[in-house]
Structure 1
Amino acid sequence: MPSSVPSFAELLGQCERSAVHLELRDSYASPDRFEAWKRGERINWETREAWWYPFHQMISDAVARGVTVRRARVVSEPVSEYIRWEHYVTHANIAAGEEVRWLPRRRATSIPLPGNDFWLFDGALLRVHHFSGDGVVVEDEITADPQTVKLCSTAFEAVWERAIPHHLYQI
């Protein structure tokens, strides 16, 4: 059955001011790149073609249009192997123009957090990710419900305020 949820590319393409992403999991389904990293393979950051994906181009294009793109990750410490890998590949997100911060989960106790990862576009439209226990996206949901948007926006900003900028976060 086809999804009625607009694609990420469509939502980011329509975005005018801001796109924020909150990640709350310590692992997601293992992409091939993670498996390669676990085997010791590393990215040649000087050869952009080796790591620049369509996602990075979408982010770069949005930033060039004046959209601020921020990502905050709430992580358990010591971090999982997956988070070690995410920290490593975040170089690509930064190169594309994202701002990325990390919040140790122990510093998030007093923040009311939503139960799911999400993207919030222009402070008004949420794309909520629903994952299986194994970290596979089961479905995405779109909502503009004002209470849900407010909860997610407030949670993101609280995480962002406490979080550590990527270049300062040591794992």
Structure 2
Amino acid sequence: MPTLVREHLAKAERSAVHLETRDAYMLTDPGFIAWQDGRRLDPKDRASWWGGWHDAVADAAGKGVRLRRARIVSEPVTDYIRYEYDVTFTNLAAGEEVRWLPRRRASLIALPGNDFWLFDEQVVVFNHFAGDGRSGGMELCGDPAAARLCTDAFEAVWNRAVPHADYRPA
């Protein structure tokens, strides 16, 4: 988890939401490459996959912050989305709620142009990505209009999305 997000997550008092809209991220990620090679994380071997990011999420959840992640995905899903689906148990174990929204069901939602984190419906961290999925940096935004746009977009996605336990990648 990038430092900027971790800092704002630690300051959050009520909520932290994350909207993901791309079908692939960081294709050179060692975890994704290992997954492509057939290696899978073992949910029972927590020590092999739990890390600092999980601690930060668990700490926030432990102080009452509701953490939600929504992913808008094209179907059939890409290999990267299938990988994300397979490792989502780590998000759940840390204290996040996760939902999936097939892109065809998102057509009537007004969405920001970038993925984002939103903390306490006030502070937005936009995630910028290059076309090949590499990180293009983050942008901190405290504009109330941006926070309202992101709040409304996230809630619209969340309300249409399928809980992780019920979603099956097509």
Return the TM-score normalized by structure 2: 0.96
Q: Is structure 2 residue 8 aligned with structure 1 residue 11?
A: yes
Say how many residue pairs are matched: 167
Structure 1 segments unaligned to the other structure (5+ residues) = none
How far apart in 1 are the matches of 2:3 and 2:52?
Answer: 17
The one-letter code of the counterpart of 1:29 is M
Question: Residues 63 and 134 from structure 1, CA distance in 2 versus in 1: closer, same or farther, beyond 3 angstroms?
Answer: same
Matches within 5 A, 1:106-125: 106-125=104-123
Matches within 5 A, 1:1-171: 7-30=4-27, 31-171=29-169
1:23-68 CA distance string (max 9 Å, x none): 0000001210110011111112111111102111100110000000
Identity over the aligned pairs, expressed in percent?
53
Question: Would you identify which runs of 4 or more consecutive aligned residues in structure 1 move more than 2 Å?
Answer: none
Q: Secondary structure at the match of 1:141?
A: strand
Contact 2:19/2:70 (8 A) holds in 1: yes
Q: Secondary structure at the match of 1:7?
A: helix
How far apart in 2 are the matches of 1:109 and 1:85?
Answer: 25
The one-letter code of the counterpart of 2:5 is F
Contact 2:25/2:132 (8 A) holds in 1: yes
Return the TM-score normalized by structure 1: 0.95
Contact 2:128/2:137 (8 A) holds in 1: yes
The one-letter code of the counterpart of 2:167 is Y
TM-fit CA distance, 1:6: 6.3
**Cα RMSD (Å) of the superposition?**
1.1
Structure 2 segments unaligned to the other structure (5+ residues) = none
